[in-house]
Chain A
């Protein structure tokens, strides 16, 4: 079955550490996205990529970094510069003019 896989489901970070969230898709989609969701809030766009080796900042990119070396993969690194990283992180992908497909998210907490 085609879909998007996010791992891990739960992630804990110590203060001052960088952590990387994985997102893999086998839908052959060109575009991929990362969103952050805080409790009771909507989705806020962190980064997006429309093609391999290219990506753009979303509305809240500070403290995050991404790479898009392969079509299937769009990992998100939460750096130590992100002062409030505790949130639910969602990855999505889509084909041109098509709806988004979402993964089931990674919940990041600070120890």
Chain B
């Protein structure tokens, strides 16, 4: 069955540093991969989508990479701020055999300390 793994331990970094979060998937060949942010007690909010033919995508201080050979996506937040503290979820999607089902990794909680 499809499996998505994100770092289950919280990531604690100092303000101004770069945070790097990992998403690994198995038994899956997604056409694209999505990243979401979730704040406590709220629904996730979409951040970025990267397609299989894109190696890297940027949006302001965010950067996502997608390596279909390694079956891995990396999510970077540069010049991190305390307001970036949240849980970040990845969701591989699309691809052959896709039934419309969308499942998420368990998320990585980021804490940015001032």
Task: Report the nearest B residue to A30, measured CB to CB.
Answer: B100
CA distance A54 to B106 in the complex (A): 27
- From known contacts A42-B105, A100-B46, A101-B46, infer whether A48 and B89 are also in contact, taking CB-CB under 8 Å: no
Q: How far is the CA of A86 from the CA of B49 in the complex (A)?
A: 32
Contacts of A84 in B (CB 8 A): none
Out of B36, B46, B89, B100, which one reaches A31, CB within 8 Å? B100
Is there a chain B Cβ closer than 8 Å to A15's Cβ?
no
Which residue from A31, A35, A41, A59 sits with its C-beta under 8 Å from B106? A41
Q: Enumerate chain B interface residues (CB-CB to A < 8 A).
A: 6, 34, 36, 41-46, 49, 89, 91, 94, 99-107
A4 contacts which chain B residues (CB < 8 A)?
43
Contact of B101 among A41, A48, A88, A105 (CB under 8 A): A48
Main secondary structure of the interface of A (DSSP, over half): strand
Chain A contact-residue range equals 20 to 34
Q: How far is the CB of B90 from chain A (nearest CB, A)?
A: 10
How far, in angstroms, from A101 to B91 measured CA to CA in the complex?
13
In the complex, which residues of chain A have a beta carbon less than 8 angstroms from the beta carbon of B36?
A: 99-100
A99-B49 in contact (CB<8A): yes
Q: Is the CB–CB distance between A102 and B44 below 8 Å?
A: yes
Indicate with 1 or 0, residue by residue over A67-92, a CB within 8 angstroms of chain B CB atoms: 00000000000000000000010101
Is there an interface contact between A100 and B102, defined as CB atoms closer than 8 Å? Answer: yes
> Which partner residue on chain A sits nearest B109 by CB separation?
A40
Contact A99 to B101, CB < 8 A, known contacts A41-B106, A92-B43: no
In the bound complex, do residue B49 and residue A90 qualify as a contact, i.e. CB atoms below 8 Å apart?
Answer: no
